[in-house]
Amino acid sequence: MIVTKVKLHSKQDKVIARQPSAATESATSGIRASLDDIRVRAFHMYQKRGAQHGYDIQDWLNAERQITQR
């Protein structure tokens, strides 16, 4: 559900709640899927390196680049 706060001319605010559109739902689920894909890819890079700490940002950026280029 999407909640929007609207300023009225009076000093009161009106809160409007509505169901997200199909396009919004689709885009959101696509982003969520992409983030999950990046997370898994970065974790595999971490494991492949022997679980060596200190490369989390590098792994994330490399995974993000690989996922978005496919």
Tell me the pLDDT tens digit for each residue of 28-68.
666 776 889 999 999 999 999 999 999 999 999 999 999 88
Q: Is the model more confident about 41 or about 10? A: 41
Would you state the pLDDT for residue 20? 63
Residues 12, 17, 21, 25: is their CA dihedral positive or negative?
positive
CB atoms closer than 10 angstroms to residue 59? 19
Nearest-angstrom CA–CA distance, 22 and 20: 7
Would you state the pLDDT for residue 68? 85
DSSP H helices, 1-70, are: 22-48, 56-68
